[in-house]
Amino acid sequence: MDFEYTEEQLAVREAAREFAQNELLPGVIDRDEHQRFPKDQIRMMGELGFMGMMVNPVYGGGGMDTVSYVLAMEEISKVDASCSVSMSVNNSLVCWGLEKYGTEAQKQKYLKPLASGEIIGAFALSEPEAGSDATSQRTTAVDMGDYYLLNGTKNWITNGSTASVYIVMAQTDADKKHKGINAVIVEKGQEGFSIGPKENKLGIRGSDTHSLMFTDVKVPKENRIGADGFGFSFAMQVLNGGRIGIASQALGIASGALELSLKYAKERKAFGKAIADHQAIQFKLSKMATEIEAARLLVLQAAMKKDRGEPFVKEAAMAKLFASQVAMDSSVEAVQIHGGYGYVKEYHVERLMRDAKITQIYEGTSEIQNIVIAREILK
């Protein structure tokens, strides 16, 4: 497998790194502390083409490959995971799903502004009683002829208050179980659609996570994605690609933790020499670097398979499972290497540690990834 990057991919990585260092880093601590959504930064990401990277230019996207997307996600996640999760949702869950499965009318109306970053989207699957068990949808979309009548609640929705377009999973025919679920497009501002308070979270505190409430919301039939009953299959297909995005985010958090640790270890002195010269610290750095490189190879393998049109379900699940654990391990070690300084905000690593945990939970918990991997290898 060829892991040599093209000139275009390297240029994308450099552009993402410059943006992260120049535009995201200066205010990241303040945004985290005050749970402030990075509105201006997300707007700039749209202008730079980071919000619809893989979408065909015909629909306002960058027409890039998944590897370029992974490289950009890693660089942005090194600095601000709250920004990168918005980027991941918009690219992987919303734009990709609409481009692959949406009608031409849906692409013209919704995909174009989403891919160009003019607006951002949200993906609404989880519910109070339907997280990992996504088949147990309580939100209903009753077929009323020309439209669906949508009722229910969605939980943990990224871009919950800032999105303009929401892809919502709902049960239309309970007797058919998961084959009775539909995916419908809902616009902000529709009558009966309300947004709950922002969640007060451990990490990714700049990301706006909200519950969504639907009370007799009329959704036109033309806003259904795919055939009747395609919703659950749509969600699973979209999440397979989304796992590459979250694996890339986890990789970025881990590599960011390593970069900060290397810098600190070379500068900090103890017992008359830099702590980087102490074997105890060297072993930590060595383990971090090795695990990060292994995670990177798993993520790239999944991305390349997706780009070649090959099955990538197992590879994406493996990448997310492993990279999210590496993010946790590396960020914890980064705090340890920094000692007391690692426990304060100005050195950034405590934020990386808090941000890392969610990568083991959203878009499929680590336990769910193990189930997916086991099913794939037992086929």
H helix or E strand, kind and range, residue 179: none
pLDDT tens-digit series, residues 305-332: 999 999 999 999 999 999 999 999 999 9
Q: Which of 8, 267, 363, 367 is catalytic?
A: 363
pLDDT tens-digit series, residues 45-58: 999 999 999 999 99
Nearest Cα to Cα of residue 60 among 91, 16, 28: 91
| CA–CA distance, 365 with 369 (Å, rounded to integer) | 6
DSSP per position, 131-176: SS-TT----EEEE-SSEEEEEEEEEEEETTTT-SEEEEEEES-GGG
**Cα–Cα distances in angstroms (integers) from residue 33 to residues 160, 171, 211, in the given order:** 19, 38, 21
Residue 134 pLDDT: 85
Of the pLDDT bands very low, low, confident and very high (cuts 50, 70, 90), residue 129 is confident
Whether residue 130 is predicted with pLDDT greater than 90 in this model: the reply is no
Q: In this structure, are residues 212 and 154 in contact, taking their beta carbons and an 8 Å threshold?
A: yes
pLDDT tens-digit series, residues 138-174: 999 999 999 999 999 999 999 999 999 999 999 999 9
Of the pLDDT bands very low, low, confident and very high (cuts 50, 70, 90), residue 1 is low
| CA–CA distance, 369 with 379 (Å, rounded to integer) | 16
- Helix axis angle for 231-267 and 66-79, nearest 10°, is 50
Question: 302: buried, middle or exposed (CB in 10 Å: 19+, 13-18, 0-12)?
Answer: buried
Give the pTM. Answer: 0.97
Query: Catalytic: 191?
Result: no
Q: In this structure, are residues 48 and 62 in contact, taking their beta carbons and an 8 Å threshold?
A: no
